[in-house]
A and B are shown apart, each in its own frame.
Chain A
């Protein structure tokens, strides 16, 4: 039982990061119908920016987090206006390929800037552990979960309570109707890309204090967020959060009980099962087309 709880807590910590990344991924998809395969690279870039701001420049964690979030949001906007906006209305395959191209360029930029040598974890946040009975709990895991929860709540508040958020929601729900009501689709798309990248920035800042090694392989987090998003439902914000946590927990339990080689098999296997049973995910809604 003790092992089960420790694995679950570890899964919740890593799942919180998956949830944040999946949230950005789902937001962009929901608003623009674009599967952004560069989202993992956005998070990786944020981790490396943390290295510069927290370690090299010695900035405060919160200041650094805000600067990175803003920089990432700007990057999201730049990518939208320079690359994605001209592709609106183009075939899905072309758009997806472009996001893969963006991922390759971001990896190359990081490699050229930071070099190939791996760095260790950033230890700005507390790294110790505390015991609850026989259960050992890490501070950083709890911080990761707490900050992720606050970020998700802030995101939901923005999406449901602010005028801009409601406009985004309207565009995501029904583009034609929203446009007829005078809501700018381009502005909504741009904001979605900005917020999506910002969420990756928040996730990266947090994860830089959790990951044991910082290298370009961190973009693989994007691959973990993908099943999380699909599992929860690609058009469901809440689903992305739950999906992220489920994938994190299932991965850790599989690795802990069956061995590391089962980690991916179980996570992606679960995704297949859910897709077969509920093609629109656990919390997604089927798209109805009237003919």
Chain B
């Protein structure tokens, strides 16, 4: 009897797991919307100060109507297939999940506008849980099995380094990775949207100098997760600090396997006493930011902190210690949706009352939205030339210049060297309810040293 009961339990468990994986497949692997696939012209075209179209699929040209299917490269009779690869369930899911939702929701929006070339966008999402091994397999699956036309997103410099050669070999456009590292500039199929860490460091240090009233007053240390990008951040902060005549003390590592940062905070206290440390430049995920901020708070250490883009997620400001949050700010390329801009107004109007709404307040959601907007613009331009395929799409994106995202990011110019479409950043501060930009992107462009593809 007991064996039978156990059998029933096991059977139920198996059913539950199968059901869960099926529903997960439905939710994650493919996202489509019910938008009509027959529209040949679309809704209104919004023109902004920049003079460039900011809506998704706005005008379908005569050439697009006759686009031939190219199923091996993501273009079927009814769909244009795009892929997303990233960490949906792993240690950086709190950042990357929102990015994926932003992409998915923008494609819903584009489909609601009629799609492109008589076709809807379909998104294939693959979760790597921040694992290189999983990511390599996911990349092959998206390229060879799902046969997508392009891949969007992807967070993790270690993963990008591992698949860089495969991306070039496959010739598949890789749009808007969630980090911009040097290796990506040399790959003709990678289109970078986020500002390079070096540029983010430039803006961050400039803001710190402004805060303390001059370079001679700034004594800064960098602190970050013990990963390659964390060490890079330390190097960039050091370079910029010293170039501008301020004082850099040292880089402090926070182990990725640790759960607190007590020893690191004791070191910070030492630097305050010995070197007059008066600013921290923080690298890491939202979780790492909370770890450092709460450990500092527990030790009673109060110091202003400027963070890299990934540290300024909404939950850090809500869950972090009030005393330190007051003087914590970060640098980012994307404008959070609580800031009214033409692009964000369009976003908020679309997500209201939909499943997208609960994700939209996170700045990474806007990041995904902007990256998908760039991809759709590329598809539109390729289709306008009368054909769709991976190489055609890559060529089309390379021609995109001064593309206005409606204030959700700096104007995107993929004609720049290294296809560095975004390339700018500005500081953001928390006002108690949301992140607010400190000035315009242009206000901070003078601080960039023009090393990383700007100019």
A: residues with CB less than 8 A from B are 3, 6-7, 10, 14, 82, 86, 108, 111, 116-121, 127, 129, 136, 138, 140, 210-213, 215-218, 220-221, 223, 251-252, 255-256, 259-261, 263-264
Contact = CB atoms under 8 A, between A and B. Distances in A.
A260 B255 contact: yes
A127 B321 CA distance: 12
A33 B255 CA distance: 32
Contacts of A3: 266, 270
Interface in B237-279: 252-255, 257-264, 266-267, 270
B290 A213 contact: yes
A6 B273 CA distance: 16
A268 B257 CA distance: 13
Nearest to A223: B257
B97 interface: yes
| Interface SS of A by simple majority | helix
Contact of B298 (A212, A259, A260): A212
Contact of A119 (B91, B226, B270, B319): B319
Given A118-B94, A118-B319, A264-B257, A212 B263 contact: no
Contacts, number: 113
Interface in B267-302: 267, 270, 286-287, 290-295, 297-300
B322 to A, nearest CB: 11
A210 B261 CA distance: 11
A261 B264 CA distance: 11
A142 to B, nearest CB: 13
Given A118-B319, A136-B299, A260 B259 contact: no
| Interface SS of B by simple majority | helix
Given A217-B287, A261-B226, 13 more contacts: A116-B97, A118-B287, A118-B290, A127-B297, A136-B300, A140-B298, A211-B260, A212-B260, A212-B293, A212-B295, A218-B259, A261-B253, A263-B255
B4 interface: no
B299 A213 contact: no
Given A127-B298, A263-B255, A120 B319 contact: yes
B89 interface: yes
A211 B299 contact: no
A138 B295 CA distance: 11
Contact of A117 (B10, B266, B297, B315): B315
A124 B19 CA distance: 39
B9 interface: yes
Contact of A138 (B6, B263, B298, B313): B298
Nearest to A254: B263
A213 B266 contact: no
Contacts of B294: 120-121, 212-213
Contacts of A120: 290, 294, 319-321
A291 B321 CA distance: 63
A217 B263 contact: no
A212 B97 contact: no
B93 interface: yes
A120 to B, nearest CB: 3
Contacts of B320: 120
A8 B260 CA distance: 15
9 contacts: A10-B266, A116-B89, A120-B321, A140-B298, A210-B260, A212-B291, A217-B259, A256-B267, A260-B226
